[in-house]
Amino acid sequence: MNQAVTINVARSNRVETMRDMERWQQRLWLLLVIQVLLVVGVYAYQQNSRATPTAVPLLPVSTHLINRIEIADATTSVHLNKQANRWQLTQSSLPVDNEKITALLEKLNGLRLTWPVANTASSHERFEVGEQKFQRKLRLYEGDKLQAEFYLGSSPGFKKVHLRRAGDNQVYSVALSTMDATTSGDDWLNKQLLTTTNPVNIKGRDYELQKQGENWQLVGETGVSLNTEKVTALVKALASLQVQSVVQEAPKGEPITLAVKSAEGNWQYDFIKTDAGHVVKRSDREQYFSLSQYEYERIAQVARESLLAPATATQTSPTTSNSAATNPVEAVVQEATKGLLGN
């Protein structure tokens, strides 16, 4: 009897122990499921945050408020400023290429900073955005107030550049190029600053053209026909004249002078050919500018003779004589016939 009771108690204890183990297993499984769900949730959150980061504008104000820009590299710099809604080179007051400055401002205005590629001070030199080692340093002002200062460095890919804001360790990759922020004043120069549109009088070395209505004529000469295409080409050349760069020293040489009158103003052009190339100056500016041989020749080399209409051939003898002159065989036959008739 006692043995049977002992066996039943042992069996009951084993059953209870197994139930406890099953309960612990269930709890462990539940804990594992919770851990897996937590890991999946954290991973999904990180991925979602990485896919849609907060984009911060590079500039704190609109570029419409910016009226002064300083661009520097390791050795040179260029300063641009806005006067009466027109950008110019600060030192020379020469006009800036409007398309070029507009393109830069639009790109800067659209830049957004998201995930940095580096965030330590030690990375600045490696990406060439350090205070001492950089490819470009830009400062943008609204009046005298500095609104933005940042560095451009190495390129991580096509039309991309590393960027770091001054006072910030974070380095970003942005859609920009150091070529968009050149430090050469000649690159910013408006190459068409010497053009003259719609001239009414052009006086060259040995000619003077005056526009009457829609037609051109030589001043002081009557009954002279002009080559319309040549005159039109000269007018178009003045309207599209392109210089290349500013010449630092006044060139030596005898200038070819061209005086032009238009509704815009009256100017004198001095074209000079030098050993180094071709140079032009206009009376309203103190600087000399280099220009291509093509630009030089299509304006400075124009002479009166080239502007005249081609002369038309006139008949000076009977048709038979002209025919004979152009046909030697017929001439011989005619001479022989005259001889026979004379006998």
Instruction: Say if residue 172 is in the same domain as residue 204.
Output: no
Tell me, yes or no, whether 260 lies in a domain: yes
Instruction: Say if residue 60 is in the same domain as residue 184.
Output: yes
Instruction: Say if residue 176 is in the same domain as residue 61.
Output: yes
Query: What is the pTM assigned to this prediction?
Result: 0.74
Q: Which of 188, 210, 241 is the last residue of a domain?
A: 188
In terms of Cα–Cα distance, which of 299, 282, 309 is closest to 234?
299
* Interatomic CA distance for residues 343 and 332, integer angstroms: 17
- What pLDDT shows up at residue 22? 76
Instruction: Say if residue 74 is in the same domain as residue 183.
Output: yes
Helices (H), 52-165: 98-110, 123-126
CB 241 within 8 A of CB 194: yes
- What pLDDT shows up at residue 314? 47
In terms of Cα–Cα distance, which of 67, 71, 57 is closest to 179?
71
- What pLDDT shows up at residue 235? 98
What pLDDT tens digit does each residue of the chain (343 aa) get?
A: 555 545 555 566 665 677 767 777 887 778 887 887 887 777 766 665 555 568 899 999 999 999 999 999 999 999 999 999 999 999 999 999 999 999 999 999 999 999 999 999 999 999 999 999 999 999 999 999 999 999 999 999 999 999 999 999 999 999 999 999 999 999 999 999 999 999 999 999 999 999 999 999 999 998 899 999 999 999 999 999 999 999 999 999 999 999 999 999 999 999 999 999 999 999 999 999 999 999 999 999 999 999 999 876 544 444 444 444 445 545 544 555 454 444 4
Q: Show the domain range for 97.
A: 56-188
- What pLDDT shows up at residue 232? 97
Q: Which of 144, 166, 188 is the last residue of a domain?
A: 188
